[in-house]
């Protein structure tokens, strides 16, 4: 059996993938993977996701420069969630310029932003637009 056949893909042929900092353990982001993106992730040792909105492969960092270097792949007990233990190049995973996409905390009936923007998103994408 192929290792990809052991995954319980959803009806769209996707599996949720959680990127986690391999040193701190902080959850950086969640995205989707299909068979091709997961295969390429394992081959290239970098996070490659499936962009549902664009309908194509998304090599994390291709527009921002914030590549996720793969250290380990894990599959959960139900075989329906992947964890990528990564080194986040540049220290920014979120398109908002923050370390993590999970920068809001529920407090007193509202979402409170608790993580600072490390770099202006317009500056991030402008730097890499010419590449």
Tens-place pLDDT, residues 32-69: 999 999 999 999 999 999 999 999 999 999 989 999 99
Predicted local distance difference test score (pLDDT) of residue 84: 98
pLDDT at 130 over 70: no
Q: What domain range includes position 19? A: 3-128
pLDDT digits (tens, 9 = 90+) for 29-38: 999 999 999 9
Q: Nearest to residue 17, comparing CAs of 2, 40, 1? A: 40
CB 42 within 8 A of CB 48: no
The number of folded domains in the chain is: 1
pLDDT, tens digit, for every residue of 93-119?
Answer: 999 999 999 999 999 999 999 999 999
CB atoms within 10 A of CB 23: 11
Distance CA 34, CA 36 (A): 6
Instruction: Give me the CATH number covering residue 29.
Output: 3.10.20.810
């Amino acid at each position: 059996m192929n290792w990809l056949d052991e995954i319980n893909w959803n009806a769209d042929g996707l599996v949720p993938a959680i990127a986690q900092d391999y040193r701190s353990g902080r959850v950086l982001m969640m995205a989707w993977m299909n068979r091709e993106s997961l295969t390429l992730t394992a081959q290239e040792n970098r996070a490659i996701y499936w962009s549902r909105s664009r309908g194509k492969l998304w090599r994390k960092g291709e527009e921002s420069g914030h590549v996720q270097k793969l250290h380990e792949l894990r599959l959960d007990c139900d075989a329906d969630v992947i964890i990528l233990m990564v080194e986040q190049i540049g220290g920014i995973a979120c398109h908002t310029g923050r370390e993590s996409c999970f920068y809001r905390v529920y407090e007193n009936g509202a979402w409170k932003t608790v993580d600072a923007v490390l770099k202006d998103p317009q500056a991030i994408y402008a730097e890499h637009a010419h590449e």
